[in-house]
């Protein structure tokens, strides 16, 4: 039997009261009101309503050691990334590793693996696979249905997956950037219950009015909080908070607690904010997470004030998993799973020959997953090879198939600002082929080949120096500690900044430059792709 006392934040009933929580066998057995308690606040633990754990570059057990420090007790996790690499074995891996620690990883069945037929993935999750996953008690929902054109057009496979979720009584997550009005309504009516891709309040309102709930996303690459936070004034009961993708350096500093603090600082009602951070996702997905009610699992946090939200303790299933700066559970080294074919490329492999000097260029946008399309007049060398224009920040970008030896795809991109070097990553949503951007063919090739030698990772090359963060788990995660990974990642980011990049998170943004389901212009291992019309573009 344990007891914890303080000022209880009863979010469900929207009140504060002083009391003592009694815990037996991991469950809140009794809550007794008592005026003689310490001046500390007890509130439900935070839930990330939509995240890909893989994007932290940490396996679940190592992610948990960082997240509990920030008051996170559960995540709604889409294992889509590792599924694109390793298929069903990847989903099993995430569940297995997550079960080694107290944090409650609530996984979904990936709905779009591969995301499109216009890129090479390492595996496929079929309709039959989805049906099997949805029958499991530890699979809580059908994960983001990013094939929104397939939803609107009645694609049979898409329809079958949604119907399987409906039969199982589990919600369907959405992913439909930019759709509005009648399309948003049609998308919702197909059975989609949420969306985390809103870039404007107007888009969010269309989706809310169509019956969807909105997850306000603030990750390491896509940051939509500023555009959407005023929804707390009108639709607080239909909001959740999410990170989607959180890189390790930022996870060292905070998680959902940062969004809660920002919202409270703006003056929003504390019960509305805490509902978005806990009650709303727990109830929407039917998560096995307590909300400070008698009979609930004893999942909660203790904080010393309601401004800084300094997390003093984090409790999960009646166990104090974080206290006074110390994590109270251990993790052994996770096993390795991968799907990677290593081979080297040469500078001649990424030359571009074209009679047309006017070239479509990807316009990357800091803090956004969407890109724009620009046209630039490039120049040729004596051999007829199209050259980048580093002085105008028009750089060469390549995507290299990691699953089988193939010719690299090449395009040009603006917005990275890199001079005298290159950066590369085998974290390349959604199929996780190797992506590189640089100002010279030699630097790009060197960065790609370093990743090939490691079977996955992040690399930076600047001529004088080179560095790599190996990612041996599926080529997208490390099995080392979050502190170690975060430190190396920060060093790589600083290298990119010293090479001229002005991006907040260059390695996060580069990972989305092959994400074909987010418009406008992206590059897959098969070529330059128009994400609005779902067609390839001639370079």
How do residues 83-122 score in pLDDT, each as one tens digit? 999 999 999 999 999 999 999 999 999 999 998 889 999 9
pLDDT in tens, 490-507: 999 999 999 999 998 899
Give the pLDDT confidence score for residue 132 in this predicted structure.
Answer: 98
Domain assignment of residue 335, yes or no: no
* Owner of token pair 């309709």: 127
Give the pLDDT confidence score for residue 332 in this predicted structure.
Answer: 86
Please tell me whether residue 203 adopts helix, strand or coil conformation.
helix
Domain assignment of residue 52, yes or no: yes
Please tell me whether residue 200 adopts helix, strand or coil conformation.
coil
**Mean pLDDT in residue range 189-206:** 96
* Number of folded domains that form the chain: 2
User: How far is the C-alpha of 220 from the C-alpha of 248, rounded, in Å?
Assistant: 9
User: How far is the C-alpha of 469 from the C-alpha of 146, rounded, in Å?
Assistant: 29
Q: 26: domain CATH number?
A: 3.20.20.140
Sheet of strand 394-400, all strands in order from the earlier edge strand to the far edge: 371-377, 358-364, 409-414, 394-400, 434-438, 422-425, 457-461, 466-470
Residue 367 pLDDT greater than 90, yes or no = no
Domain assignment of residue 332, yes or no: no
Residues 386 and 310 in one domain: no
Give the pLDDT confidence score for residue 285 in this predicted structure.
Answer: 98
Residues 85 and 232 in one domain: yes
Which residue range is the domain that position 513 belongs to? 347-536
Residues 283 and 358 in one domain: no
Residues 111 and 169 in one domain: yes
Domain assignment of residue 260, yes or no: yes
Asked which of 160-174, 378-392, 519-533 is least confident by mean pLDDT, the reply is 378-392
Q: What is the band of 508 on the pLDDT scale with cuts at 50, 70, 90?
A: confident
pLDDT in tens, 442-456: 999 999 999 999 999
Q: What is the DSSP string of 299-316?
A: -EEEES-SSS--EEEEEE
Domain assignment of residue 331, yes or no: no
Give the pLDDT confidence score for residue 525 in this predicted structure.
Answer: 97
Cα 436 to chain centroid, rounded: 20
**Better pLDDT: 539 or 438:** 438
Average pLDDT, rounded, for the chain = 95
pLDDT in tens, 300-313: 999 999 999 999 99
């Amino acid at each position: 039997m344990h007891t914890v006392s303080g000022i209880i934040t009863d979010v469900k009933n929207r009140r504060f009261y002083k009391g003592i929580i009694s815990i037996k066998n991991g469950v809140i057995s009794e809550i007794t009101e008592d005026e003689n308690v310490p001046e500390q606040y007890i509130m439900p633990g935070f839930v990330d309503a939509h995240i890909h754990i893989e994007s932290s570059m940490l396996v679940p057990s190592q992610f948990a050691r960082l997240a509990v420090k920030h008051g996170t007790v559960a995540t709604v996790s889409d294992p889509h990334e590792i599924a694109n690499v390793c298929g069903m074995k990847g989903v099993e891996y995430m569940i297995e590793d997550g079960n080694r620690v107290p944090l409650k990883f609530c996984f979904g069945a990936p709905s779009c693996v591969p995301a499109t037929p216009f890129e090479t993935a390492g595996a496929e999750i079929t309709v039959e696979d989805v049906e099997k996953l949805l029958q499991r008690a530890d699979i809580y929902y059908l994960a983001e249905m990013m094939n929104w054109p397939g939803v609107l057009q009645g694609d049979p496979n898409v329809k079958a997956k949604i119907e399987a979720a409906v039969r199982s009584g589990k919600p369907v997550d959405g992913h439909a950037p930019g759709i509005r009005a009648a399309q948003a309504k049609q998308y919702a009516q197909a059975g989609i219950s949420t969306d985390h891709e809103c870039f404007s309040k107007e888009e969010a309102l269309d989706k809310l009015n169509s019956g969807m709930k909105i997850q306000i996303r603030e990750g390491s690459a896509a940051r939509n909080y500023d555009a959407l936070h005023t929804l707390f004034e009108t639709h607080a009961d239909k909001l959740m908070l999410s990170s989607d993708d959180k890189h390790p350096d930022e996870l060292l500093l905070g998680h959902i607690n940062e969004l809660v603090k920002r919202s409270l600082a703006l003056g929003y009602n504390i019960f509305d904010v805490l509902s978005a951070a806990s009650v709303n996702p727990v109830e929407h997905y039917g998560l096995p997470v307590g909300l400070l009610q008698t009979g609930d699992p004893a999942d909660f946090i203790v904080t010393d004030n309601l401004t800084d939200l300094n997390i003093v303790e984090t409790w999960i299933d009646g166990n104090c998993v974080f206290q006074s700066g110390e994590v109270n559970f251990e993790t052994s080294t996770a096993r390795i799973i991968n799907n990677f074919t290593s081979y080297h490329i040469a500078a001649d492999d990424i030359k571009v020959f074209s009679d047309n000097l006017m070239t479509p260029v990807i316009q990357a946008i800091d803090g956004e997953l969407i890109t724009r399309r620009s046209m630039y007049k490039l120049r040729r060398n004596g051999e007829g090879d199209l050259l980048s224009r580093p002085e105008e920040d028009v750089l060469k970008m390549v995507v290299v198939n990691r699953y089988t030896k193939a010719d690299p795809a090449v395009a040009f991109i603006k917005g990275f600002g890199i001079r005298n070097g290159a950066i590369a990553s085998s974290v390349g949503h959604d199929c996780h082929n190797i992506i590189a951007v640089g100002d010279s063919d030699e630097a790009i090739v060197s960065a790609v080949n370093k990743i090939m030698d490691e079977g996955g990772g992040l690399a930076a090359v600047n001529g004088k120096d080179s560095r790599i963060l190996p990612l041996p788990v599926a080529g997208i995660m490390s099995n080392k500690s979050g502190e170690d990974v975060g430190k190396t990642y920060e060093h790589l980011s600083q290298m990119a900044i010293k090479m001229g990049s002005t991006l907040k998170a260059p390695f996060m943004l580069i990972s989305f430059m092959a994400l074909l389901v987010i418009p406008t212009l992206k590059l897959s291992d098969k070529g330059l792709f128009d994400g609005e019309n779902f067609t390839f573009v001639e370079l």
